[in-house]
Chain A
Amino acid sequence: MIKVINMNNDEILRVENLHTSFFTSAGEVKALNGVSFSLKRGEVLGIAGESGSGKSTAMLSIMGLTGEAGRVSADKLEFMGKTLDAENIKSMRGKDIAMIFQDPMTSLNPVLSVGYQLKEALKRHHWEGSIRDRVIDIMAKVGIVPAEERMKQYPHQFSGGQRQRLMIAMSVICSPVLLIADEPTTALDVTVQAQILKLLREIREYSGMSMILITHDLGVIAGEADRVIIMYGGEIMEEGTVQEIFKNPKHPYTLGLMKSLPKPDSKRERLIPIEGQPPDLLNPPEGCPFVKRCQNAMKICLHKKPEVSVLSDTHKYSCWLEVKNNA
């Protein structure tokens, strides 16, 4: 388990030893297995991982959105000093913590005008001040102009990129402290992706909000995040600043990911993939979740969860290799 050493007043989110399971007809799926991290004000935390790594589940667990089949437990789940229980999260969701998803249509109601929906979001959270001015202001900020006219339109009258902008407008309209963006640009083309990422950057700059950016695209993480968490099989493999992760990756999985990407400068050099298949969450290995695909797997990796090795205040990773090298 990772313990953060310096308690900082700027810290807005703290998660310790988060476990989430889903009960399905096929058995219990352990989606998260002891995940701990924290987030400071204004910081962008990138969470990278493949499908099934638990990156989205972690966020849904924090937001209390795991549904009936999910069981969430954690030693600590605090946001702005308040424990995130079912009661608290309800009043914070959409106001203090907002979330955007891959598919913008999940948050836009097709039969209501976008202006109405934006106004509703403000009213729901008792916005003080002129609701109409705020809606026009936010629509202009996300680049949907002329706002006065376009707020009368319905979601289907906007293009995919514009809907994503609207969804961002909807989520930041109450000035949240934290925005959780779950694969916000995965469905978009690269040119639109660049626009959306730029927009999110601008919003952060003037509002000072923090962001958790979940994506499988390491390129997006490298460009946007301050700190990075690499997840695999429901556990955190490595955590560090963006420099530490990209310039000095330690965990075999992080290293494998970096190597499997095509290099922009090389001439058709053969890729080095991570062999094997993603982990089966119904039957997770006792030890390290990555053991089956790890080139350096040792006997201890099969049966024992690796200890966390601390390289710096910010850089930590969970692997027996480090323990072995120090022994």
Chain B
Amino acid sequence: MLEVTNLTKYFDTDSGRVHSCDGVSLTVDNGETLGLVGESGCGKTTAGRTMIRLYEPDDGKIIFNGHDITHMKQSELLPFRKKMQMIFQDPYASLNPRMTAGDIIREPMIIHRLPKDEHDDRVNHLLKLVGLNSEQSGRYPHEFSGGQRQRIGIARALAAEPEIIICDEPISALDVSIQAQIVNMLEDLQKSLGLAYIFIAHDLSMVRHISTRVAVMYLGTIVEIAESSELYTNPLHPYTVSLLSSIPVPDPEISAARKIIPLQGEIPSAINPPSGCRFRTRCKLAKPECSFLKLELIEKGNNHLCSCPFI
């Protein structure tokens, strides 16, 4: 459904050009969840926002349902905006504090010119769908708890009847006990509405739970993509190995027994990223040729793609 090839986006700042997203290629199929993980500054949010054409891509191609939307004008994009929506991290910042819950959910219907007489019914229906009741539609965002606000944000995303939703850290600002509510709801909605998700997160255990496939990003590039269980049980890329070993386990015995493979040094700046393999400065397996290799994702069997040629 969504096919992204060599997507590149950089930002020019006073201190130089930041390579936020550098040659990202991935596909999302109907009804699947692609997890996108990586540490802060790895470009996962930029990648998500560029795919949805919030940012103008500097290179690459975005094909959505067979249409090339890479350089479409805003006016041409409107019908596609309906199909691609987004859920945000901060339930406090993602809702306009001056609008009621009902108005927030109604806005996409107004923009996409849905028949006016259906608006109210649809708002009530959506509120029910996300586990709120219709009496709450007149309330303002600050009167809801974090979890409820996230539900309103999801209802807004659903109002446009999307086919794919980019979930940018949708649960990381929520309490543990609320996270499971939201994740279950996203899974239910996926089943009943046939949605596809790109699930961007740094909580690796939740990503494993919700995703069919997972892509690991490091410094603007994808280093590994595989089926969720395959990736977590058989990580190939040295970065993924380190990353997964660092996940805290809520079990004292497993926690004591596991071995953390630490990363050396600090993450390099995205303004002057290392040449060749981005990870070579911190990699235990680094060889001299890593500094000039042109890396591509290589199939390692089992639909497991990895950018490291030495594994």
Contacts and interface: CB of A to CB of B under 8 A. Distances in A.
Contact of A194 (B205, B208, B246, B266): B246
Contacts of A258: 250
B30 interface: no
Interface in A242-261: 242-243, 246-247, 256-258, 260-261
A33 interface: no
Contact of B176 (A191, A195, A218, A272): A218
A161 interface: yes
Given A223-B249, A262-B208, A264-B249, A191 B242 contact: yes
Given A257-B177, A272-B180, A246 B250 contact: yes
Chain A interface: which size bin?
A: 35 or more
Contact of A262 (B206, B243, B267): B206
Interface of B: 39-40, 145-148, 175-181, 183-184, 187, 202, 204-206, 208-210, 229, 232, 242-243, 245-252, 254-256, 260, 262-263, 266-267
B243 A190 contact: yes
A256 B39 CA distance: 29
A111 interface: no
Nearest to A232: B177
Interface in A142-193: 159-162, 189-193
Nearest to B33: A268
Contact of A191 (B39, B251, B252, B256): B39
Given A273-B178, A273-B184, A189 B229 contact: no
A198 B40 CA distance: 20
Main secondary structure of the interface of B (DSSP, over half): helix
Interface of A: 50-51, 159-162, 189-195, 198, 216-223, 242-243, 246-247, 256-258, 260-262, 264, 267-268, 270-275, 277-278, 293
B135 to A, nearest CB: 16
A273 B180 contact: yes
A95 B65 CA distance: 63
Q: Which of A190, A221, A222, A268 has the most CB of B within 10 A?
A: A190
A190 B39 contact: yes
A246 B248 CA distance: 14
